[in-house]
Structure 1
């Protein structure tokens, strides 16, 4: 965005409306940065969920009490991998040279992140029911639910605007990008709860009461 504004809002080869899409700028001189940023974001998003699952399994975060939470967590990781791959590939297959492929991978990215978010939120909700004293869990899934809900609504609006209102679609894409950044950053709040917690400390046989839970995990 900064580059586009500093350059005087030029019109790129793939640009259709007055406002440039992120992919229009990324398909031009900033493609190396676009691919690098998309790769770091896609891999980082996937690793956040993998690490979160490992910390729950090892008892450094509130553990899964039932099979359904482990299934939900696994599905969230799988869809995060799909979404991350879509993000990387949409940057590689830029909109200027591979328009059809770019939009296909954009769809894969959106669908992957959407399902990953849905499964994560449901997982957090079930875990919070088992550990009602852990305020951080309620905050985590509520914040994720709000951001994800807004992102899903905006993604639907973006898909429609992409074909019928190009400038509106470009604005929505920028908004979605910034909100997705905040969604990924919520995992920093989740993962930092493991700080100072020993391996196995939060396994279910030791979480029968608040007295058995580290203060960092209790409201």
Structure 2
């Protein structure tokens, strides 16, 4: 059984984000799918921002803040765990810089989401649109940098930790899907044709729900750092594999301690890596 650890950060973030989206669309539907004042003529499907600018603004602001705070905690946790050796370490300055700048752009994306929820589309149209771009671009660039980092790590540790390439593939899929959807959304938003407003609203909802999957992808990244009775953290497992002899038997034992006292675990034989 996995113990509670850093992987709960993306779980909380995704749960809050998804619950907020469902609550907003459910409320809009229950109220009879009202047409808000900021909607274009002929538009029948509300944008997330339209609903967020109405009576559900407190939910929109609070949900956005909680979502990005816990998501960015996941980013910071991944960096710290890699530095501490619980996840496999970076191999050079390139992937370290990718990790650092990915956090920077994630924070920029987080600020974009918080600010767009505060400066709503009803009262601050231009500011809202600018922060929307900041949110999407920030997290997409962050994802690209993470992919670059994970591709390098995955190639170097290919025989030991295939989960790195799995995470890379998940995030790459997010980038391709999200960029494609964002381009379509931008075309619909920039169009003066009324018939394009409903497709634009649908694309915005799809982008938001796809973002949930991206958040959950960090569970895949953080789970390998957990220590349980039957699981060794990814970083320590790397050391064990590096010390295997030509016959494949490890030179380091990872047996569980027999007893515990005030000074910590006691081992009959073997040692922690």
Contact persistence 1:77–1:116 (CA under 8 A): yes
Could you tell me which residue of structure 2 aligns to residue 142 of structure 1?
169
Please identify, of 142-151 and 41-50, the stretch whose mean Cα deviation from structure 2 is larger: 41-50
Alignment of 1:5-154 (within 5 A): 5-16=29-40, 17-133=43-159, 134-154=161-181
Q: CA deviation at 1:209?
A: 6.1
CA gap of 1:132–1:12, structure 2 versus 1, over 3 A, is same
Which has a greater percent of helix? Answer: 1
**In 2: Cα distance, 1:146 partner to 1:201 partner:** 29
Contact persistence 1:63–1:202 (CA under 8 A): no
Q: CA deviation at 1:199?
A: 9.9
Please identify, of 9-18 and 151-160, the stretch whose mean Cα deviation from structure 2 is larger: 9-18
**In 2: Cα distance, 1:28 partner to 1:18 partner:** 16
Structure 2 counterpart of 1:190, from 210, 218, 221: 221
* TM-score, structure 1 as length reference: 0.91
Could you tell me which residue of structure 2 aligns to residue 201 of structure 1?
236
The alignment covers a number of residue pairs equal to 212
Contact persistence 1:19–1:170 (CA under 8 A): yes
CA gap of 1:209–1:26, structure 2 versus 1, over 3 A, is farther
Could you tell me which residue of structure 2 aligns to residue 156 of structure 1?
183
RMSD in angstroms over aligned alpha carbons?
A: 1.9
Q: CA deviation at 1:31?
A: 0.3
Report runs of 4+ in structure 1 exceeding 3 Å deviation: 197-200, 209-212
Q: CA deviation at 1:198?
A: 5.8
**In 2: Cα distance, 1:167 partner to 1:66 partner:** 47
> Which 5+ residue runs of structure 2 have no aligned equivalent?
1-24, 245-249, 255-273
TM-superposition CA deviations, 1:82-133 (whole Å, max 9, x none): 0000000000000001101100100111110110000001111000011012
> Which 5+ residue runs of structure 1 have no aligned equivalent?
215-219
Could you tell me which residue of structure 2 aligns to residue 175 of structure 1?
206
Q: CA deviation at 1:208?
A: 2.5
CA gap of 1:147–1:198, structure 2 versus 1, over 3 A, is closer
SS of aligned partner of 1:201: helix
Q: CA deviation at 1:20?
A: 0.2
**In 1: Cα distance, 2:90 partner to 2:31 partner:** 51
* TM-score, structure 2 as length reference: 0.74
Q: CA deviation at 1:202?
A: 5.8
CA gap of 1:124–1:13, structure 2 versus 1, over 3 A, is same
